Amino acid sequence: MTAAPPNSRQRAWMFTALGDPDLLMPKDIPARSLVTMRQRGWIQPHEHDAGRPRHSLTAEGRAALLTVPKCNALLSAEKDGRIASTVAWPTLESLLREGLAVRLTAHGRPGTADDPAYISTLGRRLVGLAAADERPASQLLIEALASRGFEAIVESDEDGNTHVAHRAPGLEVLFYRRLGPGNGNSATHPAWMHDSAWYGFVDHAGDYAELARDLGGADCAADSATAADALARLLSATRPDPATAS
């Protein structure tokens, strides 16, 4: 006989545990409920907290939170995290409602029904996929620039576009990810969403240059390091050689 699925209270507790780094169930769950969930293999003893045992969510518990359509939908996520457009609407709406998927704009901001759905951090954890890098892409680029001696900040415009700016006397460099015709640009999208190389626009004392590269799908950290190195090479090439300066 197949065990009954978790009821609404049990699901709420188990989803709370799913969001915990150690998959710990909430405190103060009634003892009878703990026994039931433990008997069904959904939770297991984890540690003691001030004399009271704690429990953590098991693989069986994670599986109990999913239906086959939901599991297939989450596992359909493409390399960029986008959930397949063929997923049935009721299944997708359920994933969105439970926080297992999220709609995002091309800038990485919360989206509307017109924007694509992506698997969330919670969704990745539920089906056992590797965690995605949630840090803003701008953070990785600013850190890469700083490691090479370049200070930079994030700036935005009235349309919600963002870029990373480095400025020095006679020099302005703007880095961003181009989103396509009519979609603007972004620098603050999540690092996992960084699916195209940083574009760099350079104004060097009125001389304009571009730092545009195709990194063949490199991740955001690698792309940021390459962008910082490209700027260093450009400035090194344009500085006068002290040995020949008068």
Q: What's the pLDDT tens digit per position in 143-187?
A: 999 999 999 999 999 999 999 999 999 999 999 999 988 889 999
Same domain, 24 and 94: no
Residue 30 shares a structural domain with residue 72: no
**Phi, psi for 207 (deg, rounded to 5):** -95, 125
Establish if 190 belongs to a structural domain: yes
Task: Kindly state whether residues 230 and 171 are assigned to the same domain.
Answer: yes
d(CA 87, CA 92): 6
Q: What confidence score (pLDDT) does residue 204 get?
A: 87
In this structure, the answer to whether residues 75 and 59 fall within a common structural domain is no
* pLDDT tens sequence across 93-135: 999 999 999 999 999 999 999 999 999 999 999 998 988 999 9
Residue 28 contacts residue 44 (beta carbons within 8 Å): no
Q: How many domains does the chain have?
A: 3
Residue 2, pLDDT above cutoff 70? no
Is 246 part of any domain?
no
Question: Domain for residue 176, yes or no?
Answer: yes
Please report whether residue 37 resides in a domain.
yes
Q: Is 141 found in the same domain as 114?
A: no
The one-letter amino acid code at 122 reads L
Burial 111-148 (b: 16+ CB within 10 A, else e): beeeebbbbbbbbbbbbeeeebbeebbbbbbbebbeee
In a domain, 245, yes or no: no
Residues 114, 44, single domain; the answer is no
Same structural domain, 88 and 179: no
Pairwise CA distance, residues 42 & 46, whole Å? 13
State which of 87, 108, 127 marks the end of a domain: 127
Domain coverage including residue 230:
137-238
Report the alpha-carbon distance of residue 98 to residue 113 in Å, rounded.
16
- What's the pLDDT tens digit per position in 56-75? 999 999 999 999 999 999 99
Of the residues 38, 63, 88, the one at which a domain ends? 63
* The predicted structure's pLDDT at residue 48: 67
